[in-house]
Amino acid sequence: MKRFLLCLIFAAAFAAGQFSTLAADTPAPTPKDPTIEQRIADLESYVNNAGRLADTPTNNVKSNISGPGPGANAWQMTSTALVLFMTLPGLFLFYGGLVRKKNVLSVAAQCFFITGMVTILWWICGYSLVFHHGNSILGNFGFAFLNGVDSNPNGDYSYWVSQNVFSMYQLMFAIITPALILGSIAERMKFSAMCIFMVLWMFVVYFPQAHMVWGIDGLMNGVWNADAKIKAIDFAGGTVVHMTSGWSALILCIILGKRVGWGKENFAPHSMVACMIGTGMLWVGWYGFNAGSAVAADVVAANAFTTTTLATAVASFVWPMAEWITKGKPSVLGFCSGAVAGLVVITPACGFVTSTGAVWIGLAAGLIPWFFCFKVKGWFGYDDALDTFGVHAVGGTLGALLTGVLARNSANANLATNLKTFVTDSCAQPLVIEQLKAIGITLVLAIVGTTVIAFIVRGLVGLRPTAEDEVTGLDVTDHGEEGYTG
Amino acid sequence: MKKIEAIIKPFKVDEVKEALREVGVEGMTVIEAKGFGRQKGHTEIYRGSEYTVDLLPKIKIEVVVPDARLDDVVAAIVKTAKTGKIGDGKVFVIPVEEVIRIRTDEKGDKAI
């Protein structure tokens, strides 16, 4: 919406013959104090999530509200905390409950390590590589060490949210994405190997992918980058978060090999209660993830909030019903898996589809990932311990595709800015092809990147603990602790 | 003296305990046990993975009685623990050579 309104302002300025994209090259005259009407216009812009008059340099006017908007910041800080809550402790409880008792702390340690490590990388150069201008693949080092990232908004991403808050918000995505991979390698990857793998993975896979999709000059940023070669859309991270982590998870679990005792021993979850609690936290936190991705508490966020609820609830209903029909019992893990699958599949679509589209997405999310977890995994026999591939890779890919099919102008006016010819409100609109191109690029990056990194790490420190350590459990052997004593 | 070891379904434990009290048994040991017999186990399914749980939870009650009371006590257990379905459990009767009450040094029937 904000871009749409800004474009109207630009168009008006252009018509008046005042348009200049080279404002920085020609010294601008001292801005004038705003008139009462201009001050009211700025307030209206805040309420409507549009740019101030001063955000268009050619207007040559000061703004009395040049900093962030308090409401916009309040929502974004809340969303940031919600997304952190998804990882700590949401994802830990979801995954931790599904492993055996002797490995529960290893999942906690992995989640916590990633939180700290990614934050440090983000401060050094991660944020800059993703969100600074650069080329279409990667940003440059202009924001290294968060240099210049202060409480003032960065108009590339939001007119009313402080850039430091925006940076922290995006950091939480950078944290949870590698943490999702942990599900497929649970119970059998050496902690040191996991540490090195994740550092390399951020640079090779996450930073380029996030820049290509969300960076203002990104290759696949179809909504905001008029020059994007691929006119794809991804509202909250179907490709960036779920496809990258899910496909990397599949490759890494195949390279790692199966857990000792796979197919012979009982690998049943040690606490479905913890898993259920974690699922609830993920769902709640996901409102920050999806609705927060509007980077404003505006009409787009409201739509994303609604579609997220519908798709998740429908999928959490459909998955256990499918189990009930085929296996005789609806399981709690089925309810949990359906909810997470629904959240994953709606993620790229939530800000672009209508509520009816969300219901269709929920139905697909309840059936297709379910089919992969119940059938396909058995056919191929890979040990994706906690089904990161089945839920996140399959769900993320499905979501990216369905976003192309179901994106509608009525759900998001921003689609008319740069994608007029691609979003024609039919299920066979040209956007579908663009989404397929984005899916292809994401697949290649995740699969090739992970393969190379995994073999490097294997050469450096080895990937697996000894069979004896694995049978003892990683809590004791890697961390010197036990999850449950006394 | 005889020791009776009865392995029963967990939900029957209160009923059996009450029945034993009625036939005059004054003490018993109850152990939470796991095992299997003809009932075998059950299957648990977690997403695509199926696991057979063959050790089922059971309750083992141990009672020592004078020979004269044996039949009454065994009958009480069998009657109350029975559901008629597979997995009701078993009763073992084992001879006991000696019983000693630690506090008083009493031996034999008096010590039970």
Q: What is the pLDDT of residues B20-79, one digit of tens each?
A: 999 999 999 999 999 998 888 888 889 888 888 888 999 999 999 999 999 999 999 999
Q: CATH number of the domain at A324, please.
A: 1.10.3430.10
Residue-wise pLDDT for A413-443, tens only, equals 999 999 999 999 999 999 999 999 999 999 9
* Closest chain B residue by Cα to residue A334: B47
- Please state, rounded to an integer, the average pLDDT across all residues of chain A: 94
Name the token pair of B12. Answer: 């029957």
Query: SS3 of A133, please?
Result: coil
Which of A269, A375, A390 comes nearest B46 by C-beta?
A269
Do A159 and A45 form a contact (C-beta atoms < 8 A)? Answer: yes
Taking the C-alpha atoms of residue A275 and residue A38, their distance in angstroms, rounded to an integer, is 54
Maximum distance among all alpha carbons in chain B?
60
* Residues found in chain B: 112
Name the token pair of A313. Answer: 């609830």
Residue A352 has pLDDT above 70, yes or no: yes
Shared domain for A45 and A88, answered yes or no, is: no
The predicted pLDDT at position A18 comes to 39
Shared domain for A37 and A89, answered yes or no, is: no
Q: B48 CB near a chain A CB, below 8 Å?
A: yes
Do A91 and A278 form a contact (C-beta atoms < 8 A)? Answer: yes
Residue A227 has pLDDT above 60, yes or no: yes
Whether residue A75 lies inside any domain: the answer is no
* Residues found in chain A: 486
Which whole number is the average pLDDT over A238-264?
96
With a pLDDT cut of 70, the percent of chain A lying above it is 94
Whether residue A106 lies inside any domain: the answer is yes
Which of A98, A268, A373 comes nearest B48 by C-beta?
A373
Name the token pair of B80. Answer: 């109350």
Shared domain for A47 and A100, answered yes or no, is: no
Domain containing A37: what range?
2-59
Taking the C-alpha atoms of residue A300 and residue A1, their distance in angstroms, rounded to an integer, is 8
Whether residue A48 lies inside any domain: the answer is yes
Q: In order of start, what are the domains of chain B with their CATH numbers?
A: 2-111 (3.30.70.120)
Whether residue A354 lies inside any domain: the answer is yes
Q: In sequence order, what E strands does chain B have?
A: 2-8, 29-35, 42-46, 49-53, 56-65, 89-95
Residue-wise pLDDT for A119-151, tens only, equals 999 999 999 999 999 999 999 999 999 999 999
Instruction: Give residues with Cβ within 8 angstroms of A85, minimum separation 6.
Output: A281, A284, A285, A288
pTM higher than 0.90: no
Interface pTM, i.e. ipTM: 0.74
Shared domain for A430 and A314, answered yes or no, is: yes
Whether residue A406 lies inside any domain: the answer is yes
H or E, element range at A143: none
Count of domains observed in chain A? 2
| Burial class of residue A352 (count of CB atoms within 10 Å of its CB; 0-12, 13-18, 19+) | buried
Shared domain for A103 and A49, answered yes or no, is: no
Chain B: give the shortest CA distance to residue A478, in Å.
27
* Closest chain B residue by Cα to residue A320: B47
Residues of chain B contacting A267 with CB distance shorter than 8 Å? 49, 51
H or E, element range at A348: none
Counted across chains A and B, CB pairs separated by less than 8 A come out at 30
Name the token pair of A314. Answer: 């429908």
Residue A44 has pLDDT above 90, yes or no: yes
